[in-house]
Structure 1
Amino acid sequence: MNAEPLLIVGILTAIFVGYNIGGSTTGPAFGPAVGANVITKVMAAGLMSIFFFLGAYTIGPKVVMTLGEKLVTDTSIFTLRSNVAVLFFIGGALFVGNYAGVPASTSMTAVGAIAALGFATGELNWNELGEIAVWWIVAPILGFWVAGVVGRYFYPQINAWIAIESKQGGRPMVSIDRSGVVPRLRFGADADRREITGALVVVGIGCLMGFASGTSNIANAIAPIYGTGDIDMIPLILIGSAAVAVGCFTIARRTLDTLGNDITNLPLTAAIVVAVISSGIVIGLSSIGIPASFVVIATMSIVGLGWGRATRTTTLSGVRAGEETRVSVGALTAEEEGERSPEIGEEDVEDIPKASDLFDPSTTARVILMQNVVPAISTIGAYLTFRFVPIFGF
């Protein structure tokens, strides 16, 4: 097969990868806002598409150069034939996660496939891979513990300041009114000013997460093709971002349900906390060229916040005077507007849900399992192919 058909196949495969990136990253970015019924899935997809492109265009090239130039010691291994195979394993593995409704880590999946190519050919830059791996371990732990500390000690104060509640059922809090010449935002009739402000904040931070995703994840779709030098960076970013947008409007509906509803029923305050923590970590890593595991960081932040709220304790009056009993407090549910934020030990025991109500352990376990299985499929499949299939000529 000559070069031109292979290049076309490579671009089509990159589009397939971008499509699955849109499916796997929209959930962590806008799942909390959709789950809290602030915006619709269509609005989430549109906002994700726009801000993903902005992140890809501005900071994304740094991560593209890491995967397309630094992760291997000789970029000549990025032949058109090998690129098709790399992108096939990235896209195929991500599709498995999206089909299961679990947002897998695109960065781990892509780095795994490219590293497998480098390892099979003896051109893997172990120092670069080691630096990436260290940050992959540190970043989710950091997200989990920061979110856990916020949930354990600061969430009631933040919630009292924001004073907004999830609007489950009925019309979303924020929608678009297209009745006039110029479309404009329309808010629910029962939403007060503080709730509107909170809704705009959580949507805005979801946009920040979309931007963060673009800074890191665009490289996963286009880095192998960029490594060949056949196509410039900007056209590849435009192609990849368009493919991501298609995924946002289609297959992302599954991951929006998983991250917005199945793991935990996040109120808006919790969504804001998770978004700030995860997007801050991802943008920070992308700015130094590290392909961040956006999905893992966001997911572990959600779990960390739920865990932190579940470990809040309250004091019950014992049978005998002076006797105290400690119980778990489920504080992810928003306090009633206008009430003073309770300190630890002040919550009303009758209003305490079980810890299992805060986040679904079985769904959380499924998400974490798939986030490890999907990159393993990509890495192992790519290595066996490049190591033992003669057609690649390595």
Structure 2
Amino acid sequence: MTVSRRRVLGMTGAGVALAGAGVAAGVGIDRFGQDAPAHAATDLVGFHGEHQAGIVTPTQENLHFAALDVTTKDRAKLAKLLHTWTDAARRMTAGQEVTPGGAVSGAAAAPPGDTGEALDLPASSLTLTIGFGPSLFDGRFGLAGKRPAALVDLPVFPKDKLDPARSGGDLCIQACANDPQVAVHAVRNLVRLGFGVTEVRWSQLGFGRSSSTSRTQMTPRNLFGFKDGTNNVKAEDADLVRDQVWATEADGQRWMAGGSYLVARRIRMHIETWDRETLQGQEQIIGRTKGTGAPLGQAQEFDQVDLHVRGEGGVPAVAEDAHIRLASSETLNGAKILRRGYNFVDGSDGVGHLEAGLFFIAFNRDPRKQFIPMQNALSSKDAMMEYVQHTGSAIFAVPPGVREGGYWGDGLF
């Protein structure tokens, strides 16, 4: 039995789920005062905890990502909005309306307190994750001295063709859910609550996760038809997550301890060109077999990549310009990232090609040591760059999780 917003209005996010990727059970009261039966609330992800949900949480099937600009210069208004957003996020991730009975039971002469498109839908493992962009730390809010050193402005990498209208932002909201309407509802309502303080700079819908963040999940395929993210950092790799994902106080800013850094890249995939490439050519470009996902020179998907194995004539099985070679931790002096990307198809480009690709999201402890060196190598040497183009770019500091009674970014403000 799933949990709908009509049947859990008496619950709170902390009372119905474990922090992070856990599950729980509970009894709720629906908005007409009737007892909801006890059940296993397997579609709820806990909101409170040391880290924000939506990072190591098992990746859901759908995404709505929004970057926003702050339109006020009033620090108090911004802090108040973050508090308001947090309260709304607690409710929505618990399968509730933004305000009790907000969609249909409020004053008839006033706008509803909830837009209503998620009524009767289950929580769908909704997670909401917030981040702060470099531009938030300018002179408007007195935060310049609290900008983390790792929150650098991303460089323009070779072959980038960035659209300013798809890049940057003072704030970001990442909504992930197994129902796309639940994710869209969450972002829509946070944007609505921000009227007069924030406005949307750009947004992106994503479907079909392109990575796994747990060993309980199968490796998905991207729009090139290949398994994507086989070697991704997994939630179960506790030491690796600690070292490669979570920032610490020793990294320079106390308020970021337990947080991470989110890099978002909108990657257009020239799928029509790719579809004319031979199977052998595709596999050499990626460095894996298309069927099993095994690294070239190996038998199974999760076999260790061996960059030194040789094929016929002594030629490396994994080419020097293969994607998995250039992105490997061996090539990058041990650096890894936690990927959490999604496929997208945004109509056509007006000249007969699908506007399709990968909305790449990565979490890492320090982009200067992890994402940036990786992308420098890929953008300058990767054979796959002939078939992709990066059109959007952004970076955000993702603060730690919210404690009971706290709000997003309270350590910063």
The two structures share one fold, judged by TM-score above 0.5: no
TM-score normalised by structure 1 residue count: 0.24
Name the one with the larger strand percent: 2
TM-score normalised by structure 2 residue count: 0.23
Name the one with the larger helix percent: 1
